[in-house]
Amino acid sequence: MTERTAKNVEILEKNNLYKKFFEVDEYVMRYPQYNGEMSRSVKREVMDRGHAVGILLFDPVKDKIALVEQFRCGVYLNGDYPWVLEVVAGMVDHENETPQDVALREAQEEAGAKVTALEHITRYYSSPGGITETLELFCGRVDVDTLPAYAGLDVEDEDIRIVVLDVAEAEKLLTNGKINNGITIIALQWLILNKAALLEKWGVK
């Protein structure tokens, strides 16, 4: 019987299929099955685009959040309204850059936000069947009155509108499906469930 551990997974072959902004590789592999035997050789195509970090901007004094709205090509190609409400997010650019570093950098670049406290939410896989990417998610304390109306880096062709919402209003958008991307859904659900504890931790009554 073969133990189901990562060390018993066999990579028999690896072929690069595409390499630009992201990379796609084809793997031929075998892995331990629940019946104790090794699987037959299977092919899996996997996308590698690095790792991402998101941050939900929350003003605990005013009970408001700030989301960013920007054009998303994938949503457009799917036939949905392509200006999407999201939490601030970006990619880890350097090996020595921590997720906290990325969260603070992206908050400044995408929303002009100065974050005064940072709370870790979770780390998860965006699509574990075919993508290596993980997303590290935070909640950051901000003063929404200091945020600009628009932000983004010209060098990255970012055209971003800052949208400030009451938490209750954001919850309604979540319920009626107007917020339709995973990272923002997870962040808002976390805030709804943990807001009381977060306010206590941050000393806000």
What number of H helices and E strands is found in the chain?
Answer: 4, 11
Residues paired with residue 134 on neighbouring β-strands, in sequence order: 125
Query: What residues contact 111, with CB distance under 8 A and at least 6 apart?
Result: 57, 66, 68, 88, 147, 148, 151, 160, 162
- The strand pairing partners of 52, in sequence order, are 91, 135
Measured in degrees and rounded to the nearest 5, phi and psi for residue 53 equal -135, 140
Identify the active-site residue in 69, 109, 119, 156: 156
Which alpha helices (H) appear in 35-136, and where do they start and end?
73-77, 99-111
109 is catalytic: no
Report, as residue numbers or ranges, the catalytic residues: 156
